[in-house]
Amino acid sequence: MERRDILKMAGIAAAAATPVAAGAVESHEHKPKSGPLDDWLSVRQFGAKGDGATTDSPAINKTIDAVSAAGGGTVYFPSGVYLSYSIRLKSKVGLYLDHGAVILAGPTPLEGTRTGGYDAAEPQGEWEPYQDFGHNHWHNSLIWGEGLEQVSIFGPGLIWGKGLSRGHDSDQNAPKDGAPGVGNKSIALKNCRDVLLRDFRILQGGWFGVLATGVDNLTIDNLLIDTNRDGIDIDCCRNVRVSNCAVNSPYDDAICPKSSYALGHARATENVTITNCYVTGGYEIGSMIDGTWKPRTEPHGYTGRIKMGTESNGGFKNITISNCVFESCQGLAIESEDGAVVEDITVTGITMRDIRSAPLFLRLGTRLRGPAGTQPGTMKRILISHVTSSGASKLPSILSGVPGHNIEDVKISDLYLEQIGGAPGEMAAIEPQEDEAKYPDPHMFGDLPATGFFIRHARNVEMSNVEIATLDADARPAFWLHDVDGADFFRLRVPGGSVPAFDLRQVKDFRSFGAQHIADVTMENVETRKI
């Protein structure tokens, strides 16, 4: 490929600097103008060409080794396109990508290669079947580190995962995961601590733009990710801050806390904040980075959301999601499927537009993908407030446990949910299947008999200052409840007319009061009733 094409695709305005001869030592004018220059080593000093054609990963790894041997410091990437395979991080070493610097993931044949390419996917134990291939391996990545401390990747440059697999069997023209030399992640970190990822961009990140597993004290700030599968996965991590990031991921999730069994034991993801982020699945890959914002025209995809799960062995505890924007994607999902304890979750200050499924999806299921004897998890103490959604699909928001395992202690307030509506009367009579072990997704139950909220197998649900609106008249009730113990509603607004506000089945301790056009009502035990 012509170098000018590489730079154009990466959205880089400036041409790369002229590479120096291998082994030549650059002067300080090639390094950042601020910072402890004696601790910065340029990859050009160790032979990297930055011409987009020479494989520069050996030179990059030599630079990392030299900085590590000196006790730590920063590896500097001046402007240029650095064709690379696996880059191996080390403790107390940072990578700085300057303006115009691109780390370009090198290609591999469809069948893989036994002479070169990315580092081999390391073997796993008997727990490998409990999560997908991508979650089980870290070394088969463009940039990876394991068991490290004090690691950073920062600067305004670009990581372009062009040569990576994204792990889809349907990709006929992409190298296959598991084949020798094939890589599938842009950045993969395992069992690390004190990690900083800041300011850079990722284009076509492969299966994961960032996969962090068992990483503690992790800061991810101001990343722009325009990718073909997951943007950021935070798996079995503790003390994590994700802020000011923008992720376009049409075919998978944008920011995704998980708690898999990939470490060989269940470990919760906890003490996490996700704030001031923008997520979408509505644009052609690359068009967010290059500023053209080309809307997608394909009928499928549009995932692009924030989701906890689906891998959920260890649990999610003490997590806040605040001041985030969802556009042309699926809504917020919180899932316990594999025995996870989900508790103390706060969601506030969310705006959504053009949501392609349920604006809110809370699912306590029993897939139980884990060791024999794995028991169903729990989901409780969930606080959701100050959410606005416009132009959402016919699917309502969903809170659904399974028989004998309720979602508990959910408080929802100050919501405005605008759905497209238009459902016919027969949809209001649907009795959805349970599908306890089915893969969790808002579409899993098919059409649903509510416009605003479908609530099943729940205890202690409270809603206040909630408005449900529809763009077109809809024959379904705003709220459909089945097997709910404790349901308290205050100051609701619903479409009204002849359509009931509530359809209740096996509901205990129900109360609705202070709602416009709905009479106050309190009932201890309801078998079936429409209000």
- The DSSP-derived string for 6-29 is HHHHHT--SPPPPPPPTTPPPPGG
What pLDDT is stored for residue 11 in this prediction? 45
Burial bucket for residue 97 (CB in 10 Å: 0-12, 13-18, 19+): buried
Give strand pairing partners of 459. Answer: 408, 485
What pLDDT is stored for residue 131 in this prediction? 95
Interval 193-238: pLDDT, tens: 999 999 999 999 999 999 999 999 999 999 999 999 999 999 999 9
500: confidence class by pLDDT, cuts 50, 70, 90: very high
The CA distance from 195 to 185, in Å, is 17
The CA distance from 16 to 7, in Å, is 9
Give which of 284, 275, 285 is closest to 255, Cα–Cα: 275
Mean pLDDT of 368-396: 97
Tokens describing residue 505: 């089945």
What pLDDT is stored for residue 16 in this prediction? 34
Residue 13 has pLDDT above 70, yes or no: no
Q: Is the pTM of this model over 0.85?
A: yes
* More confidently predicted of 297 and 73: 73
Give which of 52, 54, 50 is closest to 42, Cα–Cα: 50
The answer to whether position 462 is within a domain reads: yes
The answer to whether position 177 is within a domain reads: no
The answer to whether position 371 is within a domain reads: yes
Would you say 444 and 435 are in contact if contact means Cβ atoms under 8 Å apart? yes
| Domain membership of residue 477 as a residue range | 330-531
What pLDDT is stored for residue 239 in this prediction? 98
SS3 of residue 79 by DSSP: coil
If you search the block for the tokens 């891998």, which residue do you land on? 311
Residue 18 has pLDDT above 60, yes or no: no
What pLDDT is stored for residue 113 in this prediction? 76
158: confidence class by pLDDT, cuts 50, 70, 90: very high
Give which of 73, 90, 71 is closest to 38, Cα–Cα: 73
- The DSSP-derived string for 125-140 is -TTGGGS-GGGG-SSS
Which of 15-29, 132-146, 159-173, 429-443 is the least confident region?
15-29
The count of structural domains within the chain is 1
Which of 263-267, 409-413, 493-497, 507-511 is the least confident region?
493-497
The CA distance from 285 to 503, in Å, is 42
Give which of 376, 257, 365, 269 is closest to 317, Cα–Cα: 269
Mean pLDDT of 264-287: 98
The answer to whether position 403 is within a domain reads: yes
HSE-up (13 A, CA, CB side) for residue 467: 12
Give which of 271, 460, 274 is closest to 382, Cα–Cα: 460
In three-state form (DSSP H/G/I as H, E/B as E, the rest C), the secondary structure along 473-496 is CCCCCCEEEEEEEEEEEEEEECCC
The answer to whether position 67 is within a domain reads: no
Interval 306-342: pLDDT, tens: 999 999 999 999 999 999 999 999 999 999 999 999 9
What pLDDT is stored for residue 169 in this prediction? 62
Contacting residues for 458 by C-beta, under 8 A, at least 6 apart: 399, 400, 401, 406, 407, 408, 410, 481, 483, 484, 485, 487
273 cis-preceded (ω within 30 degrees of 0): no
* More confidently predicted of 151 and 175: 151
The answer to whether position 475 is within a domain reads: yes
Give the whole-number percent of the chain exceeding pLDDT 70: 91
172: confidence class by pLDDT, cuts 50, 70, 90: low
What pLDDT is stored for residue 496 in this prediction? 81
The answer to whether position 499 is within a domain reads: yes
The answer to whether position 239 is within a domain reads: no
3: confidence class by pLDDT, cuts 50, 70, 90: very low
